[in-house]
């Protein structure tokens, strides 16, 4: 079955929601092993939407995400829903008192189900939208999911509320939230939080829970928060570089040396493997920041004892190196792991390496035509000569 149809089964011509009771909710379903519910539709697209809604509700139940008022509102809505059409039929003497108590929450639920009135304080919430989105996610990595949860939690913490109806989130609130984040975070971090908040809003719109497609998290000017985030990375001093190679934590010591003598980015190094091509031992990078990042890098003698793959996760390795750098080397943000790549590029220039060959090794765009850029293949032995020259220049400039 397609992963898009997870928890869905077709019974005759009607889709049915069916999944094992989550452990966290077993106390609510003491006599059941599975949650089964007819979705009342033969359309797979509509079934998926209803499935996502149920997944979100189960996730919210497991996390205790809903406010008590929202839980009560949903319960009242379910009570009224089967009779809404009959209530609208004036020939049938039914009204609110036949189903619900007299209170504001019950009144709001009644008027929404019977008359479609959505202007009340108990509408679809930010956490409901989040849990629905988490429930439909097919990603195998928990990291994007945790980032979504973090962004929503951070926004609610700023608002000092456990949850908020989407309809009550206004542009001015978001502008003030951005200013708040700007005191501590750079442009990229702020942009990431807004992007994740937009995705939750967009998901709610696709489910029909809100009528407004353009969210209050859209169209914000973040230019003032760019600061100096794009300034060039500076080189380490000779003494600093020697300390990095000698005293880096064992987990990243080989990683740092490989970066210095190949110029590769940290994410590329952590994913790379090795192959012997035309008698030359090469680091093979199959994916990177740009299309040009896919490349072969002949390994110079200075790193012949390092074997690939390294078996490291880029973000973990980056944090370890960053903590070491701040504690033992420098707190200057313009000097980081990426500075090792700057050393390699500088050495290539000072060694007189042709820019075309340097670009091939470093992973920058080189061929500007289809003939050279797409079809041409590297002369590995020629690249190995250039790589050796650059590595020797690195030693000459900073390590002797």
Per-residue pLDDT tens over the stretch 121-157: 677 889 888 888 877 655 444 557 778 888 998 999 8
Does the structure show a pLDDT above 60 at 371? no
**Cα atoms found within 13 Å of the Cα of residue 353, Cβ hemisphere only:** 29
- CA dist 72 and 170 (Å) reads 25
Mean pLDDT of the chain: 83
pLDDT higher for 29 or 197?
197
In 3D, which of 214, 263, 243 has the Cα closest to residue 393? 263
Tell me the pLDDT tens digit for each residue of 53-94.
Answer: 788 777 766 655 556 677 777 778 877 887 777 777 766 666
Residue 349 has pLDDT above 80, yes or no: yes
How is the chain split into domains, by residue range? Answer: 129-230, 238-399
Residue 6 reports pLDDT greater than 80: yes
- In the three-class reduction of DSSP (H, G, I as helix; E, B as strand; rest coil), residue 57 is classed as helix
Given a cut of 90, whether residue 256 has pLDDT beyond it is: yes
pLDDT at 238 over 60: yes
φ and ψ at residue 366, rounded to 5 degrees? -125, -75
Q: What is the mean pLDDT of residues 181-205?
A: 89
239 confidence band (pLDDT: 50, 70, 90)? very high
Residue 29: the pLDDT is 66
pLDDT above 90: residue 281? yes
Confidence of residue 26 (pLDDT cuts 50, 70, 90): low
* pLDDT at residue 259 greater than cutoff 90: yes
Q: Would you list the DSSP string of 64-110?
A: T-S-HHHHHHHHHHHHHGGGHHHHH-TTS---GGGTS-SSHHHHHHH
Q: Is the per-residue pLDDT at 226 higher than 50?
A: yes
Q: Is 182 helix (H, G, I), strand (E, B) or coil?
A: helix
Residue 250: its H or E element: helix 250-262
Of 2.40.240, 3.40.720, 1.10.150, 1.10.443, the CATH number of 238-399 is 1.10.443
What pLDDT was estimated at residue 174?
Answer: 94
* Interval 84-95: pLDDT, tens: 777 777 666 667
pLDDT in tens, 290-346: 666 788 999 999 999 999 999 999 889 999 999 999 999 999 888 999 999 999 999
Confirm if 362 and 372 have CB atoms less than 8 A apart.
no
Of 197-201, 219-223, 236-240, the one with minimum mean pLDDT is 219-223
């Amino acid at each position: 079955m397609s992963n898009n149809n997870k928890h869905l089964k077709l019974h005759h011509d009607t889709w049915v929601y069916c999944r094992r009771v989550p452990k966290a909710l077993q106390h609510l379903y003491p006599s059941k092993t599975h949650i089964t519910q007819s979705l009342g539709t033969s359309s797979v697209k509509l079934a998926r939407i209803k499935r996502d809604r149920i997944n979100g509700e189960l996730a919210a139940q497991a996390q205790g995400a809903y406010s008590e008022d929202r839980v009560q509102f949903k319960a009242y809505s379910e009570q009224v829903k089967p009779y809404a059409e009959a209530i609208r039929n004036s020939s049938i003497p039914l009204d609110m008192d036949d189903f619900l108590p007299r209170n504001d929450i019950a009144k709001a639920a009644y008027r929404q189900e019977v008359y479609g009135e959505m202007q009340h304080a108990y509408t679809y919430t930010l956490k409901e939208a989040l849990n629905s989105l988490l429930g439909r996610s097919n990603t195998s990595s928990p990291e994007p999911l945790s980032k979504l949860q973090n962004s929503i939690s951070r926004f609610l913490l700023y608002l000092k509320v456990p949850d908020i109806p989407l309809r009550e989130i206004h542009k001015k609130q978001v502008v003030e939230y951005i200013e708040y984040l700007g005191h501590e975070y750079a442009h990229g971090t702020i942009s990431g939080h807004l992007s994740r908040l937009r995705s939750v809003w967009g998901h709610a719109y696709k489910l029909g829970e809100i009528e407004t497609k353009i969210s209050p998290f859209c169209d914000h000017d973040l230019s003032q928060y760019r600061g100096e985030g794009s300034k060039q990375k500076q080189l380490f001093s000779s003494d600093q570089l020697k300390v990095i190679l000698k005293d880096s934590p064992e987990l990243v010591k080989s990683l740092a040396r490989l970066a210095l003598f190949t110029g590769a980015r940290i994410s590329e190094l952590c994913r790379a493997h090795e192959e012997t091509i035309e008698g030359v031992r090469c680091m093979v990078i199959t994916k990177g920041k740009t299309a040009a990042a896919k490349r072969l890098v002949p390994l110079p003698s200075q790193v012949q004892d390092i074997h690939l793959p390294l078996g490291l996760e880029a973000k973990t390795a980056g944090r370890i190196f960053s903590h070491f750098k701040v504690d033992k080397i420098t707190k200057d943000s313009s000097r980081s792991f990426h500075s090792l790549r700057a050393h390699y590029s500088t050495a290539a220039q000072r060694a007189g390496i042709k820019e075309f060959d340097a670009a091939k090794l470093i992973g920058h765009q080189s061929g500007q035509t289809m003939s050279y850029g797409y079809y041409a293949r590297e002369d590995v032995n020629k690249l190995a000569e250039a790589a050796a020259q650059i590595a020797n220049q690195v030693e000459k400039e900073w390590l002797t």
